[in-house]
Amino acid sequence: MAKKEYSFYPGCSSQTGASASNMQVSVDSMCETLDIKLNQIPDWNCCGASIGYGEGGELPRMALSARNLALSEQHNAGQDVVATCAACWLATRETRDRLLEDEELMKETNEALSAAGLKVEANQKIRHMVEVLIEDFGYDELGSHVKKPLEGIKIAGYVGCQTNRPFGIDGESYENPMYLDKLVDTLGGESLPKYEKKVQCCGGALMFSEPEKSQDMVKGIIEAAYDHGADMIVTPCPLCQMNVEVYQDNINAKHGTKFNMPVVYYSQLMSVAYGKNEKDSALDGQIIKATKLEELAKK
Amino acid sequence: MSAANTSKIEAYRNSFLKEVEANVEEGEWVKMCMQCGVCSGSCPLGPHWAHPPQEIFMMIRAGKREEVLTSDSMWMCTSCYNCIVRCPRGLPITHIMHGLANYANRLGLVPKNQPTHKFAKIFWDNITKNGRANELKMGLSLYFKDGFGQGIKNAMANQKLGMAMMKTKRMNPSELWGGHGIKDKSGLNAILKKAREIEDAKMKK
């Protein structure tokens, strides 16, 4: 039996052939080492993310997450729900909190769910994978599995918005969360705790509708990483990863910069440090190659 | 002017604040704002809002109904939640801005061609069709949101990025013909239809 077991909500971008499929591959690799079993919520649906409000409105949006919770209660009873995507975690946790504190909303949501024969109690905890790592394992245990320390690799910890606000990770501040830095140190890498853009917004979903405004913010996030001598940026969020990695060409063309900064997931760092190969660590999913990680993974 | 808009103007003739409290998600919090301006100063896109949140709150209280609901300000919200965690009075500002944007949308008052409004519609239609996001179709709908000619230009301009996404297996061309989805689509649609009915019934009150 696995050491820890959770009800898993992977989210749309983690699916095969989707934009954060590389995160999922590296999360699976990390979980294998830590002996974590992720029981996917059967037939889960999209959470509505941070742009669902415009067309969806309150109750339809709540109903999306409530359906997932209802399915989790039915099939993975008693297990904490764990999400790896910031928006999935936020939407699901917000729904759970609001259902528990608002009787009318709970009644209306269940009325809507009954149209598909479902019922929600919202009695499971909703957690981010990072919470699981820090609270259920702890840095010491996470470090005990390291086979290849990330020696000499300078890594800027970019937390972003939605893994940090409005809920955040217990014991961390909204303005200067330190857990990515602590994790980098735990894996034997060189953290850059003074990286000042660690909670700067990347534009989120507005990268698609307001690309110029969003890319201006991303420019600052990358520039600051260079200022601190970073070899790469690490993030826990699929949208941050995509927004900061894939538009560097556009920013270079517009501003005459020469950005070529790899942006990886914490799970990729862990997978490499735990001795997994490039493929299991999903390094082939980088558009901007994380050369120093590749070299280490090959050793 | 939409019928829904006319009936709301009639019902709340003298108080836009009451209208917001009764109809906008988390709208009952608006009167708690003490005008400190931390929200406006904390917003990453603050300079791009015609009326940043602090101003929106005062305009609601001053009865500036049309100016607020036809503003594209709320559509500048990136959902970063900076304002929420910094507000000294604990107002759920992000949610109020989402609520105002949604209310303006339901009344048909959003400025024409507001890009985030358009994207929000593309997104919602996309995810509710199969129950999960189809990123490829979403991207293409976005390229073509301002017409066919512009769509081709956008697609050409982003060709290199598209190729890189495919090469790294983070985009799959076969998503064009179906793609990911849930099994119980009819169940999900029934749930959303019912949720919408409940909301519409409240809106008519």
Model confidence at B179, pLDDT cuts 50, 70, 90, reads confident
Report the C-alpha gap between A270 and A28 in whole angstroms.
Answer: 11
Does the beta carbon of A109 lie under 8 angstroms from any beta carbon of chain B?
yes
A155: left (phi over 0), alpha (psi -120 to 50) or beta: beta
pTM here is: 0.96
Q: Where are the domains of chain B?
A: 3-111, 115-200
Pick from A17, A49, A161: CB nearest B81: A161
Pick from A17, A43, A44: CB nearest B169: A17
In chain A, the residue whose alpha carbon lies closest to the alpha carbon of B164 is: A287
Q: What pLDDT, on the 0 to 100 scale, is given for residue B1?
A: 72
Q: What pLDDT, on the 0 to 100 scale, is given for residue A198?
A: 97
Total residue length of chain A: 299
Spatial contact of A50 and B190, defined as CB atoms under 8 Å apart: no
Tell how strand A154-157 and strand A126-128 pair up: unpaired
Contact yes or no for A55 and B120 at CB 8 A:
yes
Structure tokens at A44: 């889960």
The C-alpha angle with vertex B111 and arms to B201 and B192, in degrees rounded to 5, equals 30
Roughly how many angstroms between the first and final C-alpha of chain A, as a whole number? 32
The predicted model gives B114-141 an average pLDDT of 95
DSSP characters for A18-66?
Answer: STTHHHHHHHHHHHHHHTEEEEEPTT-----TTTTHHHH-HHHHHHHHH
Strand, coil or helix: what is B29? helix
The predicted model gives B13-37 an average pLDDT of 96
The C-alpha angle with vertex B192 and arms to B186 and B194, in degrees rounded to 5, equals 100
DSSP secondary-structure letter at A236?
S
Report the C-alpha gap between A284 and A288 in whole angstroms.
Answer: 10
* Positions of chain A with pLDDT under 70: 1
Contact yes or no for A59 and B165 at CB 8 A:
no
Q: What pLDDT, on the 0 to 100 scale, is given for residue A152?
A: 97
Which chain B residues are Cβ-neighbours of A55 within 8 angstroms? 102, 105, 120-121, 123-125
Residue ranges of alpha helices (H) inside chain A are: 21-34, 53-56, 58-75, 86-101, 103-113, 129-131, 139-144, 179-186, 206-209, 211-227, 238-246, 248-255, 266-273, 291-298
Q: What pLDDT, on the 0 to 100 scale, is given for residue B203?
A: 84
Q: Which pLDDT tens digit goes with each residue over B86-108?
A: 999 999 999 999 999 999 999 99
Looking at residue A52, its amino acid is: G
Model confidence at B146, pLDDT cuts 50, 70, 90, reads confident
Walk me through the domains of chain A, giving residue ranges and CATH numbers. Answer: 4-129 (1.20.1050.140), 139-298 (3.40.50.11810)
Which chain A residues are Cβ-neighbours of B125 within 8 angstroms? 55
Structure tokens at A101: 């504190």
Q: Please name the residues between 76 and 105 in chain A that touch chain B, using a CB distance below 8 Å.
A: none
CA neighbor of A86 nearest in space, from A205, A214, A221:
A205
Structure tokens at B164: 């890189």
Tell me the backbone φ, ψ of residue A4, rounded to 5 degrees. -135, 145
CATH number of B3-111: 1.10.1060.10
Give just the sign of the alpha carbon dihedral A44, A49, A53, A56. negative
Strand, coil or helix: what is A248? helix
- Average pLDDT score over chain B: 95
Report the C-alpha gap between A258 and B62 in whole angstroms.
Answer: 49
Q: Which pLDDT tens digit goes with each residue over B39-75?
A: 999 999 999 999 999 999 999 999 999 999 999 999 9
Contact yes or no for A201 and B44 at CB 8 A:
yes
Which chain A residues are Cβ-neighbours of B187 within 8 angstroms? 115-118
Spatial contact of A109 and A62, defined as CB atoms under 8 Å apart: yes
Report the C-alpha gap between A50 and A45 in whole angstroms.
Answer: 15
Which chain A residues are Cβ-neighbours of B22 within 8 angstroms? none
Report the C-alpha gap between B54 and B92 in whole angstroms.
Answer: 13
Alpha carbon distances (Å) from A138 to A24, A186, B23: 21, 10, 45
Structure tokens at B49: 């809002």
How far is A140 from chain B, CA to nearest CA, in Å? 30
Contact yes or no for A115 and B170 at CB 8 A:
no
Chain-centroid distance of CA B30 in Å reads 19
Q: What pLDDT, on the 0 to 100 scale, is given for residue A2?
A: 76
The C-alpha angle with vertex A17 and arms to B81 and A262, in degrees rounded to 5, equals 60
Q: What pLDDT, on the 0 to 100 scale, is given for residue B14?
A: 79
Percent of chain B at pLDDT exceeding 90: 84
Structure tokens at B79: 């959902």
Q: What pLDDT, on the 0 to 100 scale, is given for residue A1?
A: 63
Q: What pLDDT, on the 0 to 100 scale, is given for residue B156?
A: 87
